[in-house]
Every structure is written in C-alpha cells, then in structure tokens.
Copies of this chain bind each other. A is one copy, B any other.
Amino acid sequence: MVRMPTTRPYHHGDLRAALLTSAERTLREKGVAALSLRELARDVGVSHAAPGRHFKDKQALLDALTLVGFERMARAMDAADDPELPLERRLTALAKTYLGFAIENAELLELMFARKHDPDVSAQLTAAVDRSAEPITRLISDAQQRGEIIEGDPERITMVAAASLHGLAAFTANGSLPAEASLAGLDEHIHHLLHGLRPR
C-alpha cells in the first residue's frame, strides 16, 4: 500500500540532512548572517526546537556545513588530480578546481576558513582538511622526486603553493577579483608560481 503524502511530507529520519541542505541553500543565497535555526526549522516544516535534536547549537550546524564543504572539496580535488600530466598542467588543473570550488561556494568557503569550530568536530575536520590538501602535497613530493621542484622541506614548499592558490581563491570569492579575470589569469598565475617573479 502506497503512503500518500500528508501535510508534512518528510522529516521522519532525514531531518538532519534536510536541515543541512536547507542551510546550505540559505548560506548560498543570503550569507551566514542570514542563517537562523528558527527560520531553518520553518523552511523544513518542523518546530523551532526540533533542530536541537540534531545539532546541539548553532555552531554545531555551522561546523557540519564546514565539514561537508571540505569533504566536497576533497572529492573535487581528488578527481581533478591526474599524476600522468606534466607538472605545470597538473598543478594548473588542481588550481582550476580549487578556484572553481571557491567561485561556486563562496560563502561556504568563508565559513570553512573561519576557524570557529568546536573542538568536538576538530578530528573529523582535520582529516577532511588534510584530505583536500593531499593532492597538492602529493604533486609536490612527486615532482621533487623527479627533480622538477626545488629541494627542501616539502611541507614548506607545499605551503608556498597552497598560499598562492588560497590567496587567489580568497580574493576571487570575496569579490576583490572578478571570477572571469581570475580564471583568465590562472595559467599565468601558476606559471609565475613555478618560475618565479625574477627574470631567469
């Protein structure tokens, strides 16, 4: 027998997921400041106290969104990494993916890097952060082994590359640099990162 939709179609088992989906939508459309647990509850058709069952407080919801963000980014970066590619093209592909994520998820990116998270989630969060940085770490160490990247502490060199990409992504996500200009200049940006600003 088929269950007919009632006046309250869902929120049986997946209230948590529904809240996260709705929260991300609000985040994208109106920004973090506009995110209210009560409004979220209304949007999802549940009492204002119901979210409390799934998130101990508002910060817990923001932390969950952050985690979702890093996991999504990690998947994207992982999928974009092709170890067969020559170094510069390989790095450009990763950078483009990062930049694309930043453009498509500007508000989420801000939340992800806002470091307000509860210590409770920090273990999962650290894992997700590491996973999303791993393709770049791997690229650097691969290239070092081939002698295509200078020698020296791989962590520091990875940090130089990551800072360069993150700075560009941050300027793009916050509107300092228009998305088109950012994407159009990406190849050159990576070239400069690899070859330096001093003449050779």
Interface of A with B (CB < 8 Å)?
A: 31, 33, 87, 110, 113-116, 129, 147-152, 156-157, 159-168, 170-171, 174-177, 185, 188-189, 192-200
Contacts and interface: CB of A to CB of B under 8 A. Distances in A.
Contacts of A150: 192, 197-199
B166 A160 contact: no
14 contacts: A87-B198, A110-B114, A150-B197, A150-B198, A156-B185, A157-B197, A160-B164, A163-B163, A163-B170, A163-B189, A165-B167, A194-B196, A195-B198, A200-B200
A177 B163 CA distance: 11
Given A148-B198, A163-B168, A196-B198, 6 more contacts: A33-B116, A113-B176, A114-B174, A115-B176, A159-B171, A159-B185
Contacts of A110: 114
A188 B156 contact: yes
A197 B159 contact: no
List the number of copies, as a whole number: 2
**A87, A164, A197, A200: most-surrounded residue (chain B CB, <10 A):** A197
* 6 residue pairs, one from A and one from B, having the closest CB atoms: A196-B196, A163-B167, A167-B167, A166-B167, A115-B174, A195-B196
